[in-house]
Structure 1
Amino acid sequence: CTSRSWRTAVAGSNADADDGDEDGEFVPTRTRASRRARLSARRRESIRLLDVLDGGGGTDAGGIGEFLRHPAGVASLLNTRALQSFAPVESEPNSFRCTLHRIGFLGFQVAPVLDLRVTPTCTDCTVEMLSCRFEGSGLIEQQNELFSAFMRNHITWGDIGEEPCLDIDVNLEVALEVYTKPFSLLPLSAVEKPGNLLMQSLLDRLVPMLGEQLLRDYHSWVQQQPEASS
């Protein structure tokens, strides 16, 4: 298994064929039904585990599964060190509310809040985004009604030949209400195509960083195991 990656950007296909009237002119947004652009991106990454295993992580890739079922592994998956706050969601088993640090955006202070569910098993681990919203001023929070997002990170591992590997597969989908000019006057593809490229660029940066962080944290956890058992 050699280090490899795959990238896929999929343009949304919900643009109506009748984006204009019979004369081909666009109808103002206020007289039309709500229009929603659908964006999506995917990134897969395969990472060698052999170096970690040689450092004391066991004889096969199964040790990574034990790590991801451990609280330290969950914290690494959710990158809790980069969060403002992190707490279990009482109404959803194995789910966590992750609040990012506030950021400045167009003169407003915005705090993204994600509810994530972590489902580890003996053969894989899945992280799903249950909800995503923004906290801030009333104007900022009104934007929560205008978009929805879905994210799924599926992690598997196994021995392929003599090189155990960790495979990360992240899918991200976002639906946006298109209601402001000039975007409301354009075909949905004019929003979806650049939006897909932007999301793909985001995943292309973040997924390899996630893999590297997991390996570092796994290596640290492995090194602590002999001390814990002695």
Structure 2
Amino acid sequence: MQMQFAAAQTVQLTVPEQPIPIEHYLRQPQRLVHALTDPTRVQSLGEGKFRLKMRPLRFLAFSIQPTVDLQVWSDARGVIRLQSIGSQIRGIEYINQRFSLDLRGILQPERVGDRTYLNGRANLKVAVDVPPPLRLTPLPLLEATGNSLLKSVLLTIKQRLIHQLLSDYQHWVVAETELSQRANYDLPLAKVKLGQASLPAQAG
């Protein structure tokens, strides 16, 4: 017996004014991935692909641990999109062989007057064959439990996004500003040294 579960979450963040617009920050998808989840659970696969090892989840009598491969990309406007391209369930091989996961998300900046907002939406769908031990469980209970589990996953991601993304953006702006200031200081200094080196030696 196959069942399908689904959940969705939206988010809107007010972006504080910074010397560097957030669109520049959002052109680095890897920073978003690390803001969304614990960096120790993320593996970069190259070319905008990442492997996310989720925390163990409890589904009725079973403990499962999903691993999801994500493709993440952004455009010149700073719009970031992510999509799952593979998944695996660790813990129960029966479920792993009869399981599919579809995760899609978008995060985009929007300017309204003199304010900038980040609007995001994520949709998570799972299809799975119910293991034999659960087939006597009432269908409404299975549906409610599965949908609630997916909702909790997206809610956890949303909470990390709210607390981590803007903080990381502000730290990135400080680092980029310091780097730019250092470069602007080093350039005239290098020209002075070059000019001194090119002066002819005076006869004694």
Shorter-chain TM-score tier = 0.7 to 0.9
For 1:88, the equivalent position in structure 2 comes to 45
Q: How does 1:117-132 map to 2 (within 5 A)?
A: 117-123=71-77, 124-132=79-87
Q: Is the 8 A contact 2:29 2:72 kept in 1?
A: no
Distance between the aligned counterparts of 2:125 and 2:171, measured in 1?
33
Distance between the aligned counterparts of 1:193 and 1:135, measured in 2?
22
For 1:46, the equivalent position in structure 2 comes to 12
Q: Secondary structure at the match of 2:97?
A: helix
Q: Is the 8 A contact 1:45 1:208 kept in 2?
A: no
* TM score, norm. by length of structure 2: 0.73
Percentage of pairs with the same residue: 26
For 1:64, the equivalent position in structure 2 comes to 22
Structure 1 residue runs of 4+, over 6 Å off? none
Q: Is the 8 A contact 2:95 2:128 kept in 1?
A: no
Is 1:149 the counterpart of 2:107? The answer is no
Distance between the aligned counterparts of 1:215 and 1:141, measured in 2?
39
- Tell me which protein shows more helix as a share of its residues: 2
Q: Is the 8 A contact 2:94 2:131 kept in 1?
A: no
Amino acid in structure 2 at the alignment position of 1:79: T
For 2:68, the equivalent position in structure 1 comes to 114
User: Which of 194, 199, 203 lines up with 2:145 in the alignment?
Assistant: 194
For 1:169, the equivalent position in structure 2 comes to 121
Query: Structure 2 regions of 5+ residues with no counterpart?
Result: 182-204
- Deviation by residue 1:115-163 (Cα, 9 ceiling, x = unmatched): 1100111231011111111346xxx344311221111121011112332
Q: Is the 8 A contact 1:98 1:114 kept in 2?
A: yes
For 2:89, the equivalent position in structure 1 comes to 134
Amino acid in structure 2 at the alignment position of 1:86: Q
Q: Which moved more, 1:144-153 or 1:108-117?
A: 108-117
- How much is the aligned-residue C-alpha RMSD, in angstroms? 2.9
User: 1:220 deviation in Å?
Assistant: 0.5
Amino acid in structure 2 at the alignment position of 1:42: A
Q: Is the 8 A contact 1:147 1:177 kept in 2?
A: yes
Query: Structure 1 regions of 5+ residues with no counterpart?
Result: 1-34
Q: Which has the larger radius of gyration?
A: 2
Q: Which moved more, 1:38-47 or 1:118-127?
A: 118-127
Q: Secondary structure at the match of 1:212?
A: helix
